[in-house]
Each structure stands twice: as structure tokens, then as C-alpha cells.
Homo-oligomer: A and B are copies of this chain.
Amino acid sequence: MLTRIDHIGIACHDLDATVEFYRATYGFEVFHTEVNEEQGVREAMLKINETSDGGASYLQLLEPIREDSAVGKWLAKNGEGVHHIAFGTADVDGDSEAIREKGVRVLYDEPRTGSMGSRITFLHPKDCHGVLTELVTSAAKPQEH
């Protein structure tokens, strides 16, 4: 069951400049940064609030580290903006299988590793009224660093 908005993924050309925009404009601070080689991105997670399911909602700022990564190609086509939205669940495996059985294309055969040790998968935007949609199960203890 999907129990929270886990994050909004925002593609940007320059991660440091975008982090600074969110800090200077709204006071949002970086909770976590990492490079995800498999996804081809450098990213910063800004924690905005905690949620009633015991999780939290973040902005995820994404800078491609390769032009041929999914985010790199999206950015070249669309420019900066909202790249995807993500819902949190305790069971990404079960939920993604149930959703696949409803005829929505799930992009990975098995969930992969996302931010802060989470397990993630994506649903095809053409099956979701134009919205690239991620499902996330957090690691037991997301690390702030």
C-alpha cells in the first residue's frame, strides 16, 4: 500500500546552484547527498516534512553525470523541471507486482537501489497519465550525511 508522497524528483543542470536556490529562497537544507552510478545521477535530498506513516517527504534534486543517462536525456529534451514523483510503501516488491498485474508497465524486473539505500522501481509514464511514477521502500534507517 502506498502511504506517503516520498519525494518529488527534480532534474537540474547544476546541482550545487540548485541546492543553493532552495536554501536561499526557502531555507531548505541538504539532508543527504550521493552519486548513483546505476541511475547516472548526482543527487541531493532535501527533507521537507515527516509523514504520518513514519517516513518523510523530500525534494530530490538530480544532476545527470552522463548525457546518455535517463535523466540526462530527459533534461536535454525538456529542460529543468519536475522529472518524477515517488510514493512510499513498506513493500515495493508486492505493490509493484500488483500494479503490473493491473496492466501498468513496471520498468524494472526487480527493484533497484535508490537514494539512501532504498529499493525503488518506476512505472511507465504513458500508463500513468504522463507522470513518471516511482515506488520506494526506504531502508530501515535512512542515514543523514
State the A residues within 8 Å of B (CB).
1-5, 8, 10, 12, 18, 21, 24-28, 48-53, 57, 59, 79-82, 85, 87, 99, 102, 104, 125, 128-131
Contact = CB atoms under 8 A, between A and B. Distances in A.
Contacts of A80: 129-131
Contacts of A10: 129-131
A120 to B, nearest CB: 16
Contact of A48 (B4, B18, B59, B82): B4
12 contacts: A3-B49, A5-B5, A8-B8, A10-B130, A24-B102, A25-B104, A57-B57, A79-B130, A81-B125, A81-B129, A81-B131, A82-B131
Given A85-B8, A130-B80, A2 B26 contact: yes
A39 to B, nearest CB: 19
- Secondary structure type dominating chain A contacts: mixed
A19 to B, nearest CB: 10
A48 B50 CA distance: 13
Given A5-B8, A5-B49, A81-B125, 8 more contacts: A4-B57, A8-B82, A12-B129, A21-B129, A25-B99, A25-B102, A25-B104, A81-B129
